[in-house]
Structure 1
Amino acid sequence: MTGGISLIGLTKAYGDHTVLDDLHLTFESGKIHGLLGANGTGKTTLMSLMSRHTFPTSGRVLLDGRDFGEDPGQAQRLCFIRENQLYNDAFKVRDVLRIAPDFYPDWDAATTARLVDRFRLPPATVVKKLSRGQRSALAIVLALGSRADFTFLDEPYLGLDPGARETFYEELIRSYGAQPRTIIMSTHLVDEAAPLLEEVVVLNQGRVALQAPLEEAEALALTLSGPTTSLDRWLQEHPDHPSLTRRTLGPTATVTTLGPLSDAESASASQAQLRVTSTSLQGLVAALGNSNHEVA
């Protein structure tokens, strides 16, 4: 069994609504994973299941090959702090930071102090009076300060200005470099966060649409544009390159498809007067979200 987090037939349903459908997936240990996809695809639910904040309808979650229920002590290896985390109404920032080390045996006090200073968190302020950005910063401080073996970051930048996001990215790499561990981060700022990621998982409608190393994922999507008739003929002749999204303007059409193209395919596209350009990772995620296609 591969080290890390393994999902075996993981399903989560609420009544008749299935949020996650029979996932078979492994997040390898010692990597930063991007968990991507549109709102409502099950990213937060999946993080909640992996961190045992909620329980599956069916299936199993294994940590380093062991079922969570076999060893309750595994909880100390996990950290999932939501941006909307609930705290005692009377707790101030310093109260949260005082109590947190009791839950995480590898707590990094030096990192915590530095982050509080860099994010300008007010220790004497009651948590419920923090701004949205300050609550996100507090969640980041707790997540990175925990030094947990499995750390989950769910849209960690919400409310942060560009400067604060850069601080977060810098501190994430610094913390990971000092202690490599498994970090799973969901984000809609895909291209901005991409340099941090080693592997990406894209969810669509509760299923895995793509899992690949970052370099492969970034090279996967292509945009074809040109005369509509020529484009449609080329797509029909090359069924291995499905149309994920399509835009038409007069006699011209543009589609996002999956690459790469062989030399022969590139030549035939050129002969058909089609323009071939690369598509960003953000564009690939959006395209998969607008289709029912899953990448093997």
Structure 2
Amino acid sequence: MSSPVRHTDYRESAPGQGIRIRNLNKSFGKKHVLRDITVDFAPDRVHGLLGANGVGKTTLMSVILNHTFRSSGEVLIDGEDPRENARLLERTCFVHEDQKFHDDDTPASLLRILPTFYPTWDTDLAERLAPRFKLPMSTRTTKLSRGQRSALAIVISLAARAPYTFMDEPYLGLDPGHRALFYEEFARAMAEHPRTVILSTHLIDEVSDLLENVVMIEDGRVTVDADIDDARDSAFVLRGLEPVVRDVVGARRVLREYRLGNILSVTVDGTATAEDRRRADAANVSLEPVTLQELVAARGMRGTDDAEMSV
């Protein structure tokens, strides 16, 4: 393999401004997928893009990258419009679950040619990761298993070191051991070369320790945009016998509830107060912090249909 390609590190010469989105809308025919989205993705942070299936997460990433045209609104990356912008193209990397490659590509050929597309490409890292993920380097990508395609996409996303990296569940094809390897290498890559990452996932609790900020979408709208700790503090769970749980809940807004036998679990909107804790203790009701997985389930059960959009 060729020697490492060394280019200017954009983070040193031109610190990123992040991603700014204002009043963004996207419709497919009469179906509104994104509705008046206004959100900022701060630079050099890992942003979790969360929500139920079909709420517009993939569409949002695709519109940011101009892979799909917006209906209206503003998108800026580093203060520039990404439409027909070659400078921004080489600063972004997008990998996703169903990653497509050319029929004649092999992992070896891709890792040779990609440094020409990414000025920040780290060949040493690519050469280290490929065997760790057990990539069959001479096998055509059409012959790779789903897990091997996922592994290849992950190697590309980490080695590219793109200042703006978009990851739409590329690791869903991996077994638990290789997912753990991805989390390890992702954390190491962010520590050594911070970048702005937008990470969409269904494996929310698995990746929660990697996230710094959470953007949650429900029915095409941003309903949560918060630091990870603030997001976790935005709701809490009460668990116990139904009559006493309902008494502790009182007039608080309930986001979700479910029963297991005679035990009722209720996800309550808002931060748990000292009075909430006192009442729960007095009633022998468990009061627990909400997990991100529970929060997404509680806040985002409805969705539009991302399947209408091809990426």
Question: Is the TM-score greater than 0.5?
Answer: yes
CA contact (8 A) 1:198 1:213 kept: yes
Mapped to 2, the partners of 1:197 and 1:147 lie a distance apart of: 18
Out of 253, 271, 276, the position equivalent to 1:260 is 271
Once the two structures are overlaid, the 10-residue window that deviates more, 25-34 or 71-80, is 71-80
* TM-score, length of structure 1 as denominator length: 0.89
Name the structure 2 match of 1:30: 44
Name the structure 2 match of 1:43: 57
Post-superposition offset of 1:176 = 1.4
Out of 253, 277, 287, the position equivalent to 2:288 is 277
Instruction: Provide the secondary structure at the position in 1 that maps to 2:231.
Output: helix
Instruction: Provide the secondary structure at the position in 2 that maps to 1:172.
Output: helix
Post-superposition offset of 1:55 = 1.4
Instruction: Provide the secondary structure at the position in 1 that maps to 2:103.
Output: coil
CA contact (8 A) 2:219 2:302 kept: no
Name the structure 1 match of 2:8: none
Out of 119, 122, 138, the position equivalent to 1:124 is 138
Q: Deviations over 1:107-132 (max 9, x none)?
A: 11011111111111111100011000
Q: How does 1:1-296 map to 2 (within 5 A)?
A: 3-69=17-83, 71-237=85-251, 241-248=252-259, 253-272=264-283, 274-290=285-301
Mapped to 2, the partners of 1:70 and 1:64 lie a distance apart of: 15
Post-superposition offset of 1:139 = 0.6
Q: Deviations over 1:130-180 (max 9, x none)?
A: 000100011111111111110011112112111111111111112112211
Q: Deviations over 1:194-218 (max 9, x none)?
A: 1111111111111112111112222
Instruction: Provide the secondary structure at the position in 2 that maps to 1:34.
Output: strand
Post-superposition offset of 1:54 = 1.3
1:251/1:153 Cα in 2 relative to 1: closer, same or farther (>3 Å)? closer
1:206/1:104 Cα in 2 relative to 1: closer, same or farther (>3 Å)? same
Post-superposition offset of 1:193 = 0.7
Mapped to 2, the partners of 1:236 and 1:291 lie a distance apart of: 26
Name the structure 1 match of 2:6: none
Post-superposition offset of 1:45 = 1.1
Mapped to 2, the partners of 1:285 and 1:250 lie a distance apart of: 24
Mapped to 1, the partners of 2:261 and 2:296 lie a distance apart of: 27
1:71/1:127 Cα in 2 relative to 1: closer, same or farther (>3 Å)? closer
The two structures, once aligned, show a CA RMSD in angstroms of 2.2
Mapped to 1, the partners of 2:24 and 2:291 lie a distance apart of: 30
Structure 1: give runs of 5+ residues left out of the alignment. Answer: none
1:227/1:167 Cα in 2 relative to 1: closer, same or farther (>3 Å)? closer
- The aligned length equals 288
Once the two structures are overlaid, the 10-residue window that deviates more, 114-123 or 269-278, is 269-278
Post-superposition offset of 1:252 = 5.5
Percent pairwise identity: 45
Question: Which amino acid is 2:86 matched to?
Answer: P
Post-superposition offset of 1:77 = 0.7
* TM-score, length of structure 2 as denominator length: 0.85
Post-superposition offset of 1:38 = 1.4
Post-superposition offset of 1:233 = 4.7
Once the two structures are overlaid, the 10-residue window that deviates more, 99-108 or 61-70, is 61-70
Mapped to 1, the partners of 2:138 and 2:250 lie a distance apart of: 65
Mapped to 1, the partners of 2:228 and 2:287 lie a distance apart of: 21
Mapped to 2, the partners of 1:248 and 1:164 lie a distance apart of: 34
Structure 2: give runs of 5+ residues left out of the alignment. Answer: 1-15, 304-311
Instruction: Provide the secondary structure at the position in 2 that maps to 1:67.
Output: coil
Q: Deviations over 1:240-271 (max 9, x none)?
A: x3101122467763311124222223323444
